[in-house]
Amino acid sequence: MNGQDLFVGGLSILLGAVALGAAVGNWSFFFRTRRVVWLESRWGRNGVRVAFAVAGLLLILLGLMIAAGIRVYSRSTPHACRQPAYALQAAVL
């Protein structure tokens, strides 16, 4: 865990809290933005509120995982994309 993890995790928690607060509080100014109005015309206000609540909870969970330093992958796992660029170019040619 380092400062960058804490910053990104904290930002994710903050944005998740705003999305969750907008969904629970039914903030009219939040639902008047152009893209949210587009979603609301298709899903209805309650559908958009549920979507924002779920997205907010997922952002909060993600932020907590990032801030705690939880990784779902190993940096030592070899991947094809970790080959040098010249090796990838040689394979294409």
Half-sphere exposure of 33 (CA within 13 A, CB side): 6
The predicted-structure confidence for 73-88, as pLDDT tens digits, reads as follows: 766 655 555 555 555 5
Q: Is the model's pTM score more than 0.85?
A: no
2 within 8 A of 56, measured Cβ to Cβ = no
The secondary structure element, H or E, covering residue 61 is helix 34-68
How high does pLDDT run on average in the chain?
A: 84
| pLDDT exceeds cutoff 80 at 42 | yes
pLDDT tier for residue 69 given thresholds of 50, 70 and 90: confident
| pLDDT exceeds cutoff 80 at 37 | yes
The Cα 2–Cα 35 span in angstroms is 35
The Cα 84–Cα 89 span in angstroms is 9
Cβ neighbours of residue 8 under 8 Å, at least 6 residues apart? 63, 66
Query: At 72, which amino acid appears?
Result: V
